[in-house]
Amino acid sequence: MSKIGAQRYVLFVNSKIVMINRVLARVNWVSVTLFYPACLYLCIFIDNIRDPYMKTFIAGLIFMTLLLLSCGPNVKFAQEGANFFGEKITSEGARPVGVIAKEVNSQDTIQVLVEGTINEVCKAKGCWMTLENEGDDNPVFIRFKDYAFFVPKDAGGKKAIVQGKLYTTITSVEELQHFAEDKGQSAEQIAAITAPKRELQMMADGVIIYNN
């Protein structure tokens, strides 16, 4: 391959880098290791096509595929009636969050697959949510691992399956006030938070949210 040809490949890939990075946010690391080489081979393939009309068609098809993937919602997978966020998980074996919550003591950090109803979602970005904890006035607070994915801000009231690590923690006043701000609470309500709180939290790596 000539130096000019190599430069063309680099320019082609760089021109798509923004949408490629957004696509990569939706795939796992195994896919990431295959994605960049695949793009390089596609660039080489397109450049070697002699028919200018076919070259334009294939390049346009690839471009539109990347565009659709990069502009889609923050959903990694979807199926009829449900959306998947983060790692693709299954609902098989999920247990009610209220049942599992009663089995966790203050020293445990356990990997769980729970089901429940979404109570609240961060109104700012959808970067956390809570699940109703049956038999307890305190819901389970759920964060998303590495902030790799968010959930829809209007997901409150929907059924969800969540996979991740469940544990008991003490949430500081500063964090509680920050979360209250995310909820849209007033300055007076936020100022009234003056003590830390012991609560159940999850660090989720995968979430299913059902549409109905």
Give residue 120's pLDDT: 93
Residue of higher predicted confidence among 114 and 3: 114
Q: Are 126 and 164 found together in one domain?
A: yes
Q: Are 197 and 143 found together in one domain?
A: yes
Last residue of a domain, one of 72, 89, 105: 72
Residue of higher predicted confidence among 190 and 68: 190
For the chain, the domain total comes to 2
Confidence of residue 177 (pLDDT cuts 50, 70, 90): very high
Q: Are 51 and 119 found together in one domain?
A: no
Choose the weakest-confidence range: 48-52, 64-68, 180-184: 64-68
* Range 170-174, long-range pairs (CB < 8 A, 24+ positions): 170/196, 170/197, 170/198, 170/199, 171/141, 171/196, 171/197, 171/198, 171/199, 171/201, 172/196
Last residue of a domain, one of 72, 105, 126: 72
Q: Are 128 and 146 found together in one domain?
A: yes
- pTM of the full structure: 0.61
Q: Are 15 and 105 found together in one domain?
A: no
Give residue 43's pLDDT: 67
Is the predicted pLDDT of residue 203 greater than 70, yes or no?
A: yes
pLDDT in tens, 94-124: 999 888 888 877 667 889 999 999 999 999 8
Give residue 26's pLDDT: 46
Q: What is the CA radius of gyration of the chain?
A: 22
Residue of higher predicted confidence among 57 and 133: 133
Confidence of residue 15 (pLDDT cuts 50, 70, 90): very low
Q: Are 35 and 133 found together in one domain?
A: no
* 94 contacts 115 by C-beta, under 8 angstroms: yes
Q: Are 91 and 32 found together in one domain?
A: no
Which range marks the domain in which residue 192 is found? 78-210
Give residue 183's pLDDT: 84
Q: Are 18 and 89 found together in one domain?
A: no
Distance (Å, whole) CA 145 – CA 20:
21
Q: Are 121 and 198 found together in one domain?
A: yes
Q: Are 65 and 104 found together in one domain?
A: no
Q: Are 181 and 130 found together in one domain?
A: yes
Q: Are 24 and 90 found together in one domain?
A: no
Q: What percent of the chain has pLDDT over 90?
A: 40
The structure tokens 């769980």 sit at 112
CATH number of the domain within which 96 lies: 2.40.50
3-state secondary structure labels for all residues of 62-78 = HHHHHHHHHHCCCCCEE
Last residue of a domain, one of 27, 56, 72: 72
Give residue 157's pLDDT: 94
